[in-house]
Chain A
Amino acid sequence: MSVINFDQGRCRNIRSYLDFYLNSELLIETNHEVLKHLQGCASCSDELEARAEIKRLLKRAVQSERAPIAMREKIQREIRRSRPEAFPPPARRRLALAASIVIALLLGTWGVLKSRPPNGGPAQGSEQARTNQMSETMNGLDVGLDEHAYCALHWRFSKEPPTPGQVAETMGTDYAALALLVKEKMPEGYKLAEAHRCRHNGREFNHFILTSGPSIISLIITGKIGDDSLTTDAAADWQVAGVLIYRAHARDQEVAGFETGRHLVFVVSGLDKKDNMQIASSLAPSVHDFVIKFES
């Protein structure tokens, strides 16, 4: 008893270090000091053992619990239903982008100065006007373009195309059948990269994404809201098997669209006007029939 009391201050001092000692967070000198004390003090050694035991017990107890399986599935569903927020380019890239814009402007100014026609008329403004006009005449086709830009261009698809079973699981058996039909109607080489149902801007989209090399094509089906229509005041650009197809070009993407009584359907890609329209025409009759059947 007297021995312990004699060393009481020392023990108290050492015990204040014990937890840090256990976690190997002490300086080498202090570590050595604690170790030396422990060798000669049974009471502090017991204390150390007890603390290690508590740590072990707590770890075991906390880890005895596992996340419910349903929870993992729920999180996966939620992730696929929502989108990441806007994708600002990382700072370094932003800088590079700014630099390239500056260079482009300089080159452009130089080019304009060099090629300025003798009469000095402005060569640029007209291009800007044409683009503005284009976005004004999207006539509802922008709905499909937005969805394509959000889902198809932002995503990196898994290597494995979804199986019909997986499509049926996420979108229902009707859409699984449609996926097979669509694949048949697509030009050689395209495979289904993604099939999902998602929601944004108050709309629900059924979205197939097909890829062939670098080409990405979206087939998008969405229910009409209010008096949605592609036909308002534009003449159809194409007609196939009685289906009127409208087209527009914006943001480097070509959009073709047609409608049924209650749905809008879009084919969107970065292909040129002719190729995108060709694919839309090849898909339109069967997809139109499918949607009509679906509606009735």
Chain B
Amino acid sequence: MVFRKTISADGFEAVALPHLNDLFRTARRLMRNQADAQDLVQETYLQAWKSFHRFEPGTNCKAWLFKILFHAVSHHRRKWFNSRQVSDGGTLLEETLAYEPPVPQQLRDEDVLAAFEKIPQRYREVVLLADVEDCSYKEIARTLSIPIGTVMSRLSRARKMLRTELAEFAESCGIRDGREMGQGV
């Protein structure tokens, strides 16, 4: 008799492939271009397939795939960071964030995405998980392997950055917020 855990490509595809769009969208917003995003997602799926025996049926497959995806992202980032000493830029941003600009309403998708792209990658990660994928802070902490406090501080900074970027963009092309400007706190 042969006792082996049976693993099927069909079974894997049935649980993993439905999340392809979510993974791709996220990857697309983290990488510089479409080709890199595709490579990243493909790498994620192959890695997932290779370690499919470690996935416990009935648990959250999407969370598992995201964890693999972000692991790959941080791996790429490490390589990138090692080759060029890029600083976090956090302190600089902190200083410019004291002013809370009003938010314009008539923005197109591409404007929003262009503004989003200007935020450093590790800040984009938390926003994508929280605001697009609706993950809880606990899930994000687990996915990114960082403490929950870091998730929260990164998130609030990231959102402030996005608001600033959007407001600057809107100002530059003359879109004004519907509300009265300059009334803020």
A61-B116 contact given A15-B185, A25-B137, A50-B102, CB 8 Å threshold: yes
Rounded to whole angstroms, the CA-CA distance of A15 and B99 in the bound complex is 13
Is A39 positioned at the interface, with any CB of B under 8 Å from its CB?
no
Out of A58, A64, A75, A155, which one reaches B116, CB within 8 Å? A58
CB distance from B147 to the nearest CB of A (A): 15
Q: In the bound complex, do residue A50 and residue B42 qualify as a contact, i.e. CB atoms below 8 Å apart?
A: no
A54 & B166 in contact (Cβ 8 Å cutoff): yes
Selected from A16, A68, A85, A157, the residue in CB contact (under 8 A) with B38 is A68
A23 touches B113 (CB 8 A): no
B28 / chain A contacts, CB cutoff of 8 Å: 65
Is B88's beta carbon under 8 Å from chain A? no
- Kindly supply a per-residue 1/0 record for chain A positions 30-64, scoring 1 wherever the CB is within 8 Å of any chain B CB and 0 otherwise: 00000000000001001100110111011111111
- A75 proximity list for chain B (CB < 8 A): 17, 20, 41-42, 45-46
- Whether B136 contacts A61 by the Cβ 8 Å rule is no
Q: Taking the complex as formed, is A122 at the interface, i.e. its CB lies under 8 A from any CB of chain B?
A: no
Which residues of the other chain, B, contact A155 by a CB distance below 8 angstroms?
6-9
Q: A43-B183, A62-B116 are in contact. List 19 more A-B contacts (CB 8 A).
A: A4-B185, A11-B185, A50-B103, A50-B177, A50-B179, A57-B107, A63-B25, A68-B38, A72-B17, A72-B20, A74-B42, A79-B46, A84-B49, A85-B51, A85-B53, A88-B53, A89-B5, A154-B6, A156-B8
Known: A65-B24, A71-B41, A153-B4. A85 touches B50 (CB 8 A): yes
Task: For B7, list chain A residues within 8 Å (CB).
Answer: 84, 87, 154-156
Which one of A12, A43, A59, A87 contacts B53 once the chains associate, using CB atoms below 8 Å?
Answer: A87
Determine whether B155 belongs to the interface, using a CB cutoff of 8 Å to chain A. Answer: yes
Whether B29 contacts A78 by the Cβ 8 Å rule is no
* 5 nearest CB pairs, A to B: A67-B24, A156-B8, A61-B109, A50-B103, A156-B6
Write out, one digit per residue, whether chain B residues 51-79 have a CB within 8 A of any chain A CB (1) or not (0): 11100000000000000000000000000
Known contacts A15-B100, A156-B6; A84/B52 CB under 8 A:
yes
- Whether A65 contacts B25 by the Cβ 8 Å rule is yes
Set of chain B residues within 8 Å of A55, measured between Cβ atoms = 131
Cα(A50)–Cα(B4), bound, Å: 56
Instruction: Flag if B9 contacts A61 (CB, 8 Å).
Output: no
Is A78 within 8 A of B8, CB to CB?
A: no
Q: How far is the CA of A15 from the CA of B101 in the complex (A)?
A: 13
Q: Does A80 contact B (CB under 8 A)?
A: yes
Report Cα–Cα, A196/B149, bound state, in Å: 49
A: residues with CB less than 8 A from B are 4, 8, 11-12, 15-16, 19-20, 23, 25, 43, 46-47, 50-51, 53-55, 57-68, 71-72, 74-76, 78-80, 82, 84-85, 87-90, 153-158, 252, 270
- Cα–Cα distance between A292 and B92 once the two chains are bound (Å): 73
Question: Using a CB-CB cutoff of 8 Å, which residues 82-98 of chain B contact chain A?
Answer: none
CB-based contact A62/B45 at 8 Å:
no
With CB as the reference atom, state the residue of chain B lying closest to A17: B156
Count of A-B contacts judged by CB separation below 8 Å: 145
Please indicate which of the listed interface residues A60, A61, A76 has the most CB atoms of chain B within 10 Å of its own CB.
Answer: A61
Within the assembled complex, what's the spacing in Å between the Cα atoms of A17 and B86?
31
Chain A hits for B50, CB < 8 A: 82, 84-85
| CB of B2 to closest CB in A, whole Å | 6
**Contact of B4 with A78 in the complex, beta carbons under 8 Å:** no
Within 8 Å of chain A (Cβ to Cβ): is B144? no
Question: Is B130 part of the contact surface with A, judged by Cβ < 8 Å?
Answer: yes
Say whether A87 contacts B155, CB under 8 Å: no
Q: Is the CB of B185 within 8 A of A53?
A: no
Q: Using CB atoms, name the residue of chain B closest to A14.
A: B185
The 30 listed contacts between A and B (C-beta, < 8 Å) are A11-B185, A12-B185, A15-B185, A47-B100, A47-B184, A51-B103, A53-B105, A54-B166, A57-B107, A58-B127, A59-B132, A61-B110, A61-B116, A62-B132, A65-B25, A67-B24, A76-B17, A82-B46, A82-B50, A84-B7, A84-B52, A85-B50, A85-B51, A89-B5, A155-B7, A156-B10, A158-B8, A252-B1, A252-B2, A270-B2
B112 is an interface residue with CB less than 8 A from chain A: yes
